[in-house]
């Protein structure tokens, strides 16, 4: 079984909270028993999370050797000029080494998304823009660290695809079974 789930903001990608105070977890969303997250999405990121009850499938989806492309819509603070976008396209040097090149496009209009709770802070004197950014690796907080490395701090991060699986019209907290 493979489940596509729209993980809300501030929800952990696990079924039990080990923190004090406890944080929200996947347990509250009525997911089928026996599934677990195939990969991670930070608690402060939103969007597509795949869950499965098949260990081999989870491995194919998450192992870096399989280079599953993951696309994110990223709201960044600042103005992304061509030099910054080209740096992301070439790959940037992070403290744990260089990243693989990314596919990056500036979105002309913000994507049609649900409101975030709490909302992203808005500063009148600093512009923000949206990028579509696709990577084929999955280091810890990689997209946030990549955009910060080129001077574009991430304000909101929404994963919209993993391989050939897309978020589609799922709203936060909703899920559906998908083909493998």
**Residues with catalytic roles:** 42
Task: Retrieve residue 39's tokens.
Answer: 């990969």
| 150 backbone dihedrals φ, ψ, rounded to 5° | -105, 15
d(CA 136, CA 65): 9
27 DSSP 8-state letter: G
Are 150 and 84 in contact, with CB atoms under 8 Å apart? yes
Cβ atoms of 158 and 64 within 8 Å: the answer is no
* CB burial of residue 86 (10 Å; 0-12, 13-18, 19+): exposed
Q: Where are the beta strands (DSSP E) in 22-138?
A: 36-37, 46-52, 70-77, 93-94, 97-98, 103-107, 128-135
């Amino acid at each position: 079984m493979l489940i596509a789930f729209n993980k809300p903001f501030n929800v952990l990608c696990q079924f039990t909270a080990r923190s004090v105070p406890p944080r929200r977890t996947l347990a509250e969303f009525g997911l089928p028993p026996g599934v677990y997250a195939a990969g991670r999405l930070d608690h402060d990121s939103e969007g597509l999370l795949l869950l499965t009850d098949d260990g081999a499938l989870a491995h194919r989806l998450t192992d870096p050797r399989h280079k599953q492309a993951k696309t994110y819509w990223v709201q960044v603070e600042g103005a992304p000029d061509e030099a910054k976008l080209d740096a992301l396209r070439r790959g940037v040097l992070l403290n744990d080494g260089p990243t693989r090149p990314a596919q990056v496009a500036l979105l002309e209009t913000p994507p049609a998304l649900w409101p975030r709770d709490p909302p992203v802070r808005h500063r009148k004197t600093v512009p923000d823009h949206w990028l579509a950014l696709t990577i084929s690796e999955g280091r810890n907080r990689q997209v946030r660290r990549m955009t910060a490395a080129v001077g574009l701090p991430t304000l909101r991060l929404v994963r919209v695809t993993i391989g050939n699986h897309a978020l589609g019209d799922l709203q936060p907290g909703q899920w559906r079974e998908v083909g493998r």
